[in-house]
């Protein structure tokens, strides 16, 4: 009787709750293709900067087994999958053509330099004045939330980047730029 119970318990603990198809679908949710992530070396097939998931390696991995026997899909399991399968930073991203983006100094100094930028009264930037002023008034903790900006602020930054030479020379003329 006890043996039967142990055998039944072992079967239940190792029983598959999820399929391999669900594993691969969940992986795409944990590591979305357009989110500047790519597979870790062991879980991807690479051809230059092109890549695809190595389904067989994923299915045969310890994490694949953990997924299939998990009683439910939850945030912790998705995070563990992301950690196991996805390259999040560093040299492995270069293999997929994802390189760090270094902002120019005028953008890095935003919004602290917004008054100086707007003081130039450049026609290209004027339409964004109300958005920039409103954004600069927000507490720093709200502004810095994951460095995500409203569309109008992104457009303003794009224009600052596009006209950086003119902006720098004008700021230097007015002693507002080192």
Of the given ranges (33-47, 104-118, 123-137, 143-157), which has the lowest mean pLDDT?
143-157
Report the DSSP pairing between strands 38-39 and 86-87. Answer: antiparallel
Which residue(s) pair with 51 in the sheet? Answer: 46
Domain boundaries, the chain: 2-94, 105-173
Using a 10 angstrom Cβ sphere, with 0-12 exposed, 13-18 middle and 19 or more buried, the burial of residue 92 is middle
Q: Looking at residue 106, what is its pLDDT?
A: 93
Cα separation of 44 and 54, whole Å?
5
Q: In the predicted model, is pLDDT for residue 144 greater than 90? A: no
* pLDDT reading at 143 higher than 70: no
Q: Give me the pLDDT at residue 173, please.
A: 92
Q: Per this entry, what is the length of the chain?
A: 178
Phi and psi, residue 44, nearest 5°: -130, 155
pLDDT given at position 166: 94
pLDDT band at 150 (very low <50, low <70, confident <90, very high): confident
Average pLDDT on 28-38 reads: 76
Task: Answer whether residue 146 shows pLDDT above 50.
Answer: no
Residue 168: pLDDT band (50, 70, 90) is: very high
Neighbours of 156 (CB within 10 A): 26
Cβ atoms 132, 156 nearer than 8 A: yes
Give the pLDDT confidence score for residue 27 in this predicted structure: 87
User: Would you place residue 102 in the very low, low, confident or very high pLDDT band (cuts 50, 70, 90)?
Assistant: confident
Exposure class string for 62-73: b at 16+ Cβ within 10 A, else e:
ebbeebbebeeb
CA gap 121, 129 in Å, rounded: 9
**Average pLDDT value for residue range 5-23:** 60
What does the pLDDT read at residue 56? Answer: 96
């Amino acid at each position: 009787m006890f043996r039967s119970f142990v055998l039944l318990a072992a079967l239940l603990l190792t029983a598959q709750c999820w399929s391999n198809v669900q594993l691969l679908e969940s992986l795409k949710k944990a590591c979305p293709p357009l989110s500047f992530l790519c597979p870790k070396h062991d879980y991807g097939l690479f051809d230059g900067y092109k890549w695809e998931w190595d389904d067989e390696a994923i299915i045969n991995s310890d994490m694949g087994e953990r997924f299939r026997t998990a009683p439910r899909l939850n945030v912790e399991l998705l995070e563990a999958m992301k950690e196991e399968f996805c390259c999040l930073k560093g040299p492995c991203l270069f293999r997929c053509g994802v390189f760090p983006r270094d902002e120019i100094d005028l953008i890095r100094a935003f919004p602290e330099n917004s008054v100086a930028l707007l003081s130039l009264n450049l026609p290209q930037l004027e339409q964004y004045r109300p958005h920039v002023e409103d954004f600069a008034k927000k507490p720093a903790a709200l502004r810095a939330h994951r460095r995500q900006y409203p569309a109008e602020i992104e457009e303003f930054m794009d224009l600052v980047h596009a006209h950086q030479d003119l902006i720098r020379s004008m700021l230097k003329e007015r002693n507002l730029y080192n």
